[in-house]
Amino acid sequence: MSKVIVHIDLNAFFVRCEEIKDPSLENKPVAVGHDGRGGIVSTCSYKAREYGVSSGMPMFHAKKLCPHLIIKPSDYHYYSALSDQFMAFVASYTKKIEIASIDECFADFTEVIKNEKDVPAFFRKIQKILYEKTKLKCSIGVASTKFLAKMASDYKKPMGLTIIRKSDIAPLLYPLDISKMFGIGKKTTPRLREIGINTIGDLALRCQKDDPILMSQLGKFYSTIKDWISGKGSDEVITTPWDPKSIGNSTTLKEDTNNKSTISTTFRYLSKEVSSRAMKENKLGHTIQIVVKESDFKVHNKSTTIDNPTNNENTIYDVAMRLYEKNFSNMTVRLLGVTLQNLIDAKDIAIQMSLFDYQQHEEESATKLLINDLNRKLKKKALIRASEVEKHDGNK
DNA sequence: TCTGGGGTCCTAGGACCC
DNA sequence: TCTGGGGTCCTAGGACCC
């Protein structure tokens, strides 16, 4: 019995938040993002999209395409609060909810719609109630796996509702361009085109044949992709709260520089941010990584693993500076970043401390074992010697 | 004014231990 | 004198997503 997995995606979320704050923005070309050096479009309204503006685009470019574009700086705290309202709304239907990002979630509606006669009408109603309660607009995808639900919510925006049954995979997804497939990005797309794969249907057919060229192109990802498009992907909605595996901050400098004091001040600021976030999350990290982007956008990482996990600002700063001095001291840089990795919970440190005693005990045991082993070997040698002596004596 | 910042996961080579 | 592999951890880079 297959599950009913739903993916709900808030349409142009950041822009919609701004429209809720200021309704006069509705039906106008609006972009959320920083308007300055390095600024890009984070999200844009559907009106702005008509001019060719899209997310990820440099802001100066967006302004060229749409000269009367209204630009709003990003207000992350405000968006987070609205996001919480949205997640709470979905959670009022089912506790089986997985927060995928600030503006989307998966939810398992199997039980909820068990006795529902008109499923599309049911989800239309959810859309309507969400809008009435929060003024947020969403697209809903319904399917038996997370991948298909995600593709379904993407199928029609804004305020779309798409249901993908197994028999709908071919007619709905196969005609789509390969770049529309979740997991296939701007690097893999041209590589797939080169081997004659231009649509999701092309990919599906080559998967059915276990095409060796395709398999070698995708590596380990191949079996996941094959499962996804054949409808055998994961249907597990992961309800455990997010547990960060790394905490990092980075910033693009006002101008490219190799100025020591600017760089040191920036690393100090980044270390402080990372430290305070790690402390808030109650995390300590074993590994400190720095990221350096050159003027030509070439990115370098350097990291080092330390014995005692930390979230101390000074320790993070010292390690970051050492890594920088050792590897990039004369480089003209555009961006700097600091990340704490290999995180452990601060509360586990207590266990680690008692583990320290345990390890000492182990070390002692290990020494004992070594001595015992040596003794055994010595005894054996002595025995061999003794037997040799005996032999020698016997030969006499 | 050219191209952000937050993440996750995978790969591949080298060091080191047994 | 020549010469094993298996496992794990660390490191650097890269692809992808929102």
- Give the distance, in angstroms, between residue A213 CA and nucleotide B12 C1': 20
pLDDT at A352: 59
Asked if strand C contacts A250 at the CB level, meaning under 7 A, the answer is no
Closest-approach nucleotide to residue A41, Cα vs C1' = B4
pLDDT at A377: 46
Asked if strand C contacts A74 at the CB level, meaning under 7 A, the answer is no
Q: Does domain A167-237 have CATH number 3.30.70?
A: no
Quick check: A225 and A219 in contact, CB under 8 A?
Answer: no
- Report d(CA A101, CA A9) in Å as an integer: 9
**A387 or A87, higher pLDDT:** A87
Confidence class of residue A386 from pLDDT cuts 50, 70 and 90?
A: very low
Asked if strand C contacts A301 at the CB level, meaning under 7 A, the answer is yes
The domain ranges of chain A are 1-164, 167-237, 247-389
- Report d(CA A336, CA A354) in Å as an integer: 38
Quick check: A316 and A340 in contact, CB under 8 A?
Answer: yes
- Report d(CA A127, CA A130) in Å as an integer: 5
A297: three-class secondary structure by DSSP: coil
* Digit-coded pLDDT (tens) for A303-343: 999 999 999 999 999 999 999 999 999 999 999 999 999 99
End-to-end CA distance of chain A: 87
Residues 59-118 of chain A within 7 A of strand B, judged by CB, are 59-61, 63-64
In this predicted structure, the answer to whether residue A371 has a pLDDT above a threshold of 80 is: no
Q: Residue A282 is encoded by which pair of tokens?
A: 């109650």
**A47-74 mean pLDDT:** 96
pLDDT at A356: 56
CATH class of the structural domain A1-164:
alpha beta
In this predicted structure, the answer to whether residue A394 has a pLDDT above a threshold of 50 is: no
- Report d(CA A253, CA A231) in Å as an integer: 46
Confidence class of residue A268 from pLDDT cuts 50, 70 and 90?
A: very high
Q: Residue A135 is encoded by which pair of tokens?
A: 């003024």
The helix (run of H) or strand (run of E) holding residue A360 is helix A348-395
Closest-approach nucleotide to residue A286, Cα vs C1' = C10
Asked if strand C contacts A98 at the CB level, meaning under 7 A, the answer is no
Q: Are strands A138-143 and A333-345 parallel, antiparallel or unpaired?
A: unpaired
Asked if strand C contacts A308 at the CB level, meaning under 7 A, the answer is no
Residue A33 Rama label (left phi>0; alpha psi -120 to 50; beta): left
Quick check: A107 and A88 in contact, CB under 8 A?
Answer: no
Asked if strand B contacts A54 at the CB level, meaning under 7 A, the answer is no
Q: Looking at strand C, which nucleotides approach a protein CB closer than 7 A? A: 9-18
Quick check: A323 and A376 in contact, CB under 8 A?
Answer: no
- Give the distance, in angstroms, between residue A175 CA and nucleotide C15 C1': 25
Confidence class of residue A349 from pLDDT cuts 50, 70 and 90?
A: confident
Q: Residue A258 is encoded by which pair of tokens?
A: 């190799």
- Report d(CA A7, CA A204) in Å as an integer: 22
Asked if strand C contacts A220 at the CB level, meaning under 7 A, the answer is no
Minimum-distance residue to B10 (CA–C1'): A220
Q: Residue A29 is encoded by which pair of tokens?
A: 């070309």
In this predicted structure, the answer to whether residue A364 has a pLDDT above a threshold of 80 is: no
Q: DSSP strand E in A12-113: where?
A: 30-32, 43-44, 70-72, 97-101, 104-108
- Residue A72: beta bridge partners? A32
- At the topology level, CATH places domain A247-389 in Dna Ligase; domain 1 (3.30.1490)
Confidence class of residue A384 from pLDDT cuts 50, 70 and 90?
A: very low
Peptide bond into A244 cis (omega under 30): no
CB burial class (10 A; 0-12, 13-18, 19+) of residue A251? middle
In the block, tokens 């297959």 appear at A2
Residue-wise DSSP of A242-290: P--SEEEEEEEEEEEE--HHHHHHHHHHHHHHHHHHHHHTTEEEEEEEE
Crossing angle of helices A119-134/A76-91, nearest 10°? 140
Asked if strand B contacts A43 at the CB level, meaning under 7 A, the answer is no
- pTM across the whole model: 0.87
In the block, tokens 């074992």 appear at A369
Residues 6+ apart with CB under 8 A from A217: A188, A191, A192, A195
Q: Output Rg (C-alpha) for chain A, integer angstroms.
A: 29
- Give the distance, in angstroms, between residue A369 CA and nucleotide B17 C1': 17
> Of A85, A122, A115, A118, which is closest to residue A6 (Cα–Cα)?
A122
Catalytic residue among A19, A98, A104, A273: A104
Quick check: A99 and A87 in contact, CB under 8 A?
Answer: yes
- Give the distance, in angstroms, between residue A144 CA and nucleotide C2 C1': 60
Closest-approach nucleotide to residue A256, Cα vs C1' = B1
A104 is catalytic: yes
- Report d(CA A389, CA A381) in Å as an integer: 12
Asked if strand B contacts A254 at the CB level, meaning under 7 A, the answer is no
In this predicted structure, the answer to whether residue A110 has a pLDDT above a threshold of 70 is: yes
In the block, tokens 């590589």 appear at A191
- Report d(CA A139, CA A310) in Å as an integer: 42
- Give the distance, in angstroms, between residue A391 CA and nucleotide B7 C1': 73
Q: Residue A142: how many CA atoms within 13 Å on its side-chain side? A: 16
